[in-house]
């Protein structure tokens, strides 16, 4: 069968206007889980759904090399990073990432994040209002750098956090926002490359087993150490996604604001559903819109011919809102995860497949743990007001977030909390 096609101009216009909903809405319009957009010299195939995800994450059919466009490489992932690798090279790099994301490492990071939140809280009470996203990103940056063995003086925390979030904020943009992300990545790479070099030359001594220590000593399948520059790229790819958990935390606060039952439940220390709540936040709210890969060979999928070299885009947001997988997918309902066994390809908040061997994000457990720490702090120890009755999220903007990053005012300690 011939793949349904979308005109290049209407396709790009639709992506600009609809953002996260573009692939899903186009699939609904065409009554198909697959369609293509003809680009000059390139076939871009868009897919959604669990079966599409199984195909997308099949290493025999798809590869990451050549799939990430230059604007994303130069802002979000970095050139020659883990995200661009396949096969044994990917497996060994992934093992390095997983080695610093054990339960012990997660517990240490959680403790540092909790301390960073409490440290900032005293200042919050003296302010008429705060922008929650900035404050959470700053607390995450401080905690993650200390945990990773990276020197980041207090006076630099705000700027470093801004650079990490600018890299993420740039991935779906062109123009000024993209250039801001590029500049942020260059600054971060220079900073961390020098630290890697100093560590290798004995001028800087991070804690043994820390992320910086592990990246500095990682060897490729060839037996060679990562070059200083590439080591800095991969260290950023450990630090930046953890700071980006600020997006999930402000989405969680949005969910608490718009579904106050859950705030009251958690404030009463009934947190048995917190992990279900966080999973629903990751499913319901928009973060990664889609992922890209290249076809390694020509093959057939559900009667359609996928040509070798085709760019394939998997709709993560649409799959997470697929009514065939999720009952009433546009209703926020953490209860759906009670007794629900998440399969490798039906819940794509942070990728699909196997975390050890595939391209699923190695930091999912850390995302859940740090978001849970923030929820406990913001519902159990803090009281605040949100002036807006409804927190607008623009789905045409990638990445999306609540307008103004959520303004909190009238911040005070919960009467129920004592030291």
399 preceded by a cis bond (ω within 30 of 0):
yes
Q: Are 251 and 349 in contact (CB under 8 A)?
A: no
How is residue 398 annotated by DSSP? S
Map out the domains of the chain as residue ranges.
Answer: 5-413
Chain center to CA of 150? 21
Structural contact between residues 358 and 59, judged by C-beta atoms closer than 8 angstroms: yes
Cα–Cα dist 406/379, whole Å? 16
Residue 77 CB partners (closer than 8 Å, separation 6+): 68, 83, 84, 237
CATH of the structural domain 5-413, one choice from 1.10.630.10, 3.40.47.10, 1.10.3760.10, 1.10.3300.10: 1.10.630.10
pLDDT tens over the chain, length 419 residues: 889 988 777 777 778 889 999 999 999 999 999 999 876 667 789 999 999 999 999 999 999 888 887 778 888 888 888 888 888 998 899 999 999 999 999 999 999 999 999 999 999 999 999 999 999 999 999 999 999 999 999 999 999 999 999 999 998 777 899 999 999 999 999 999 999 999 999 999 999 999 999 999 999 999 999 999 999 999 999 999 999 999 999 999 999 999 999 988 888 776 678 999 999 999 999 998 999 999 999 999 999 999 999 999 999 999 999 999 999 999 999 999 998 788 889 999 998 988 777 778 888 999 999 999 999 999 999 999 998 888 999 999 999 999 889 999 999 998 654 43
| Stated pTM of the model | 0.94
What is the token pair recorded at 32? 């198909």
């Amino acid at each position: 069968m011939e793949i349904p096609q979308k005109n290049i101009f209407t396709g790009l216009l639709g992506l600009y206007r609809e953002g996260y909903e573009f692939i899903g809405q186009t699939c609904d319009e065409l009554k198909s889980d697959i369609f293509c957009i003809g680009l000059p010299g390139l076939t871009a195939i868009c897919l959604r759904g669990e079966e599409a995800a199984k195909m997308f994450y099949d290493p025999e059919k798809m590869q990451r090399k050549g799939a990430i466009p230059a604007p994303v490489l130069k802002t979000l992932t970095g050139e020659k990073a883990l995200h661009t690798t396949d096969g044994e090279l990917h497996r060994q790099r992934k093992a390095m990432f997983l080695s610093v994301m054990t339960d012990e490492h997660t517990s240490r990071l959680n403790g540092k994040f909790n301390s960073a939140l409490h440290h900032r809280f005293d200042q919050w009470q003296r302010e008429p209002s705060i922008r929650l996203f900035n404050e959470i990103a700053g607390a995450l940056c401080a905690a993650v750098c200390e945990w990773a063995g990276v020197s980041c003086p207090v006076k630099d925390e705000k700027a470093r956090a801004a650079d990490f979030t600018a890299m993420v904020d740039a991935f779906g943009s062109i123009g000024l926002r993209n250039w801001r992300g590029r500049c942020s990545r260059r600054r971060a790479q220079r900073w961390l490359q020098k630290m890697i070099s100093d560590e290798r030359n004995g001028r800087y001594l991070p804690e043994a087993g820390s992320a910086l220590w592990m990246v500095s000593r990682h060897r490729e399948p060839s037996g060679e150490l990562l070059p200083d520059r590439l080591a800095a790229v991969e260290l950023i790819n450990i630090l930046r996604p953890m700071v980006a958990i600020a997006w999930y935390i402000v989405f969680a606060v949005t969910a608490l604001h718009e579904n106050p039952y859950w705030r009251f439940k958690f404030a009463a220390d009934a947190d048995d559903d917190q992990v279900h709540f966080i999973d629903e936040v990751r499913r319901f709210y928009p973060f990664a819109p889609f992922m890209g890969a290249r076809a390694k060979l020509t093959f057939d999928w559900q009667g359609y011919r996928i040509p070798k070299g085709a760019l394939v885009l998997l709709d993560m947001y649409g799959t997470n809102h697929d009514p065939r997988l999720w009952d009433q997918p546009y209703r926020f309902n953490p209860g759906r995860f009670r007794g629900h066994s998440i399969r490798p390809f039906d819940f794509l908040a942070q990728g699909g497949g196997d975390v050890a061997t595939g391209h699923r994000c190695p930091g999912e457990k850390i995302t859940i743990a740090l978001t849970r720490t923030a929820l406990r702090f913001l519902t159990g120890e803090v009281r605040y007001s949100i002036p807006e009755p409804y927190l607008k999220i623009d789905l045409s903007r990638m990445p999306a977030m609540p307008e103004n990053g959520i303004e909190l005012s009238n911040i005070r300690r919960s009467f129920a909390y004592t030291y």
